[in-house]
Amino acid sequence: MAVCPSDAHNMSIVLLGSVPHPRAIAICSFLIPFEYLRYLFETLPNLGNGNLDELLPWSPSLPETCRARKDG
């Protein structure tokens, strides 16, 4: 039995839930996802035995290019 793409999409919504996790919303609200992922992909290969905690989304050591502007 084959699974058509729309069935797979509907199944993923059921399995993953349609409501985003609150922590994911908070992370997305203060980071620019594309810039953060670019930073990770550029930094991880050269990290060696470095501290992974510095790469976490809430780390104060992330560059400003990864952070969303706070208007207001």
For 42-63, write each residue's pLDDT tens digit: 999 988 888 888 888 888 889 9
Higher-scoring residue by pLDDT: 66, 19? 66
pLDDT at position 19 is 59
Q: Residue 3: pLDDT above 50?
A: no
pLDDT at position 56 is 87
Copy the structure tokens of residue 26: 């908070």
Q: Residue 5: pLDDT above 90?
A: no
pLDDT at position 10 is 47
CB burial readout 43-60, b (16+ within 10 A) else e: eeeeeeeeeeeebebeee
CA 12-14-16 angle, to 5 degrees, is 60
